[in-house]
Amino acid sequence: MSADLDDLFTALGRHSDALPPPGVADARRRGAARRRNRALAAAAAVLLVLAGAGVVTWQRRHAEPILPATTPARIRGMTPVGEPLRLPAGETWTAPLVAGGSGYAISGSTDGRVHAFDLATGARTWTSEPIAGPAGIALSATPAAVVVQQPTGLVFLDPRTGARLWELTRAPRDLLQLHTGVLARFDRDTGTIEAYDVRTGARLWAVTAGDERPVTITGMRTAPGGDEPGFTSDPLAAHTADRVRPFTDDRLIELTEKGRVRIRDIRTGKVRTTVQAQRARPDYAIGYEGTVYTFWRGDDGSARISATGTDPGAGPSRVVYREEYPDGPSFADFYPCGAGTVCVYERRPTGASPEISDTYLLRIDAIGGRVLWEAPARWALEGSTMRVGRAAPAAPTDSIVSTGTVNEAPTTAVLGAGGRLLAREEGAGGIVNDGNVLVLVGDAARAVSTIDGRTTDLGTVPEISGRCDGNADHLTCPTGSELWTWKFER
């Protein structure tokens, strides 16, 4: 299951949430007006949605320059898959999710139903019974179950039929971690950790707090799934994420009150390793490719990032970034960006006033703390929130994609080897695969190559009313009462 477009879809959701969802008729009128104004400038393919009729035509133009072949192959077009899924007037689609060869989405707001459809044909395969819950209900999926997230608990559905398998009630302070086959729950009030089979709901194991109480749990992410948006300690909390990718690695990370990193086998609960970490914020840990990253903010305002290896012979825990506030640059954000490397956003004063600063992105060796490269990050100015895509160590350009904001508008930067800026687009974007980035600029879709930075206009899309989702081959987006799916052409 791919998580490669998480940054795009999270950014789209963040910016669309700032406005009330448009009505379908209004969306079509505005979209049609924009398309009329842009018709003469349309490039390789133009998607025309005829207002009121729902008829789709796909027009190709032949003036597009011939671009060189790349490996992976570059995206050259987007083709609609079948007809959009339609709801009765007044109903809207939410929480679209792409998992394997299937897509899922929720209709309604208070008593929503989950709908499944085939990505290859666009045909609906099943619709669940109503699942009561507030708006903000969300979806996850594993090969064993489709997981409906609610603030008070989770509902597990059969991915083949939509039948209800089992339910889990959660307390407000519970932390949950979703693995492809196991759900781990940490009760912060008692210190108990327990695990359940995702398919059957059977409790697999449980451990009590003991002499060294845990303070948080998280999963070990691995490429290409390591770009979980925000790396939240509790990604299954309905108020922090509306779509969660389950992790596949069997290592469950436990940070204890004594500052130790304990690794358990999520299937059995047995402890594999225990390593003393640097002093860290007790509720914050990120696991990526065998390394656990923790963060500490001192009383004096200074910040430290530490890396703790969990494999035998990994060596001691070490500080890989240190901010000496207020005498130097100030720390802004960080995320793992490849095996054994961590990326840090840093603000550097540019004038007499510390409020005037430039933002830089540093890529740091997590073993020795050496800065591998640094690059200006002017797409992340003015203290805006930053959603960062994954670094792909196996990619030809070792690319990094970042979506931030400039003057409150989403901006996507594509960086190549050494932090060189390959492209910058004014829109929300994310990695499709190791060679391609998709950017939505208004109602236009654009592909950017991570190999040479060249762009390809893919045409226009209907006005999107919420977050999209996708993988290396497909994209699905809600447009009010319609749910569209496209296939990327290469």
Q: Is 99 exposed, middle or buried (0-12, 13-18, 19+ CB in 10 A)?
A: buried
CA–CA distances in Å: residue 252 to residues 186, 220, 247, 267: 11, 6, 10, 9
Question: Does the predicted model carry a pTM greater than 0.85?
Answer: no
For residue 218, give the nearest of 236, 204, 201 by alpha carbon.
236
Q: Residue 25: is its pLDDT beyond 50?
A: no
For residue 446, give the nearest of 421, 414, 419, 416 by alpha carbon.
414
Measured between alpha carbons, how far is 455 from 360 in angstroms, rounded to an integer?
25
- Is there a contact between 338 and 288 (Cβ–Cβ < 8 Å)? no
For residue 388, give the nearest of 371, 405, 368 by alpha carbon.
405
For residue 158, what pLDDT band results from cuts at 50, 70 and 90? very high
For residue range 271-321, what is the model confidence (pLDDT) as tens digits?
A: 999 998 888 877 788 898 899 999 888 887 788 999 999 887 778 899 999
Q: Terminal CA-to-CA distance of the chain, rounded, Å? A: 20
Tokens representing residue 151 in the block:
């603030």
Tell me, what's the pLDDT at 476?
A: 92
For residue range 68-125, what is the model confidence (pLDDT) as tens digits?
A: 888 889 999 999 999 999 998 888 998 899 998 999 999 976 678 999 999 999 999 9
Measured between alpha carbons, how far is 462 from 78 in angstroms, rounded to an integer?
13
Helix (H, G, I), strand (E, B) or coil at 344: strand
For residue 18, what pLDDT band results from cuts at 50, 70 and 90? very low
For residue 151, what pLDDT band results from cuts at 50, 70 and 90? confident
Give the range among 116-130, 256-270, 385-399 with minimum mean pLDDT: 385-399
For residue 468, what pLDDT band results from cuts at 50, 70 and 90? confident
Q: Which amino acid is at 225?
A: G
DSSP for 127-191, please give it.
EPPPEE--TT-EEEE-SS-EEEEETTEEEEE-TTT--EEEEEE--TT-EEEEBSSEEEEEETTTT
CA 121 to chain centre: 25
Helix (H, G, I), strand (E, B) or coil at 108: coil
